[in-house]
Amino acid sequence: MRLDVNTSESIKLTAKLETLHRSAFPSAVRNTLNDLAFESKKLVPKKADENFTIRQKNIFNRMTIVNRASGFDVNRMVSKVGVDGSKGTLSDGLEKQETGGNIQGRKLLAHDKARVSGSNTKKVKSKYYFKNVSKIGTAQKRVKGSKYFRIKKGSKETVFERLGKNKIMPVFVVRKTRISNVKPNPFISVSAKLASKLTAKLYQNNAEFQFKKHLK
């Protein structure tokens, strides 16, 4: 994020700051940039909740990081808010949601029946984690000891679990490809834009802090 201190609201504050200690103006700018980044981060979960089905609590808060502005050269100061890039596939997926593009995923997608309470908004039941699912056969060729098998109907293929005699339940939908193409569905840039409306207020707060600090 960058800060324009030449707006009508900020010019007077800037002029006063520049008459104080040499660190007053750059400190006010730097702290305002960082405040804006953290305000953006706070808004991300709310905007994401409006756009996505969120099954992992606090995931957007955990995956959103802030890089603080630093130093005293206001021309080089910049604060950033974005996705934590250290989480591999999860990071890539969230970044692609923001910008659009191809996401590498799994061919098996959990059916609602495999989720807690049978709800699309809930997590997958632990018994249906991939590590807990034995080999998957077909309707014609079952895998010994496995309760799971695929049935293809037309262009659709589904993995079922045998629950008992003459009773089965869908647990996974089989996709044709691991690649998903997603359109941009921004949640970080939108949050930053909303936070930018606080710029004048935050700059004033940081300027007043410098006045109190240097005019004791």
As a whole number, mean pLDDT of residues 26-43 equals 96
- Are the C-beta atoms of residues 41 and 64 closer than 8 Å to each other? yes
Taken as a whole, the chain contains a residue count of: 216
Cβ-proximal residues to 142 (8 Å cutoff; 6+ apart), any chain? 149
The predicted pLDDT at position 198 comes to: 94
Give residue-wise pLDDT tens across range 102-129: 888 888 999 999 999 888 888 899 999 9
- Of the two residues 1 and 24, the one the predictor is more confident about is 24
The pLDDT confidence band at residue 65, using thresholds 50, 70 and 90, is very high
Please tell me the predicted confidence (pLDDT) of residue 184.
Answer: 92
Nearest to 41 by CA among 67, 70, 69, 64: 64
Structure tokens at 101: 């593009």
Buried residues in 148-173 as b, exposed as e (16+ CB within 10 A):
bbbeeeeeebbbbbeeeeeebeebbb
Q: What is the mean pLDDT of the chain?
A: 90
User: What number of other Cβ atoms are within 10 A of residue 49's Cβ?
Assistant: 12
Q: What is the pLDDT of residues 134-165, one digit of tens each?
A: 899 998 898 988 999 999 988 899 999 999 88
Residue 166 pLDDT greater than 90, yes or no: no
The residue that leads in pLDDT, 139 or 189, is 189
User: Which among 18, 14, 26 is positioned nearest to 73, based on CA atoms?
Assistant: 26
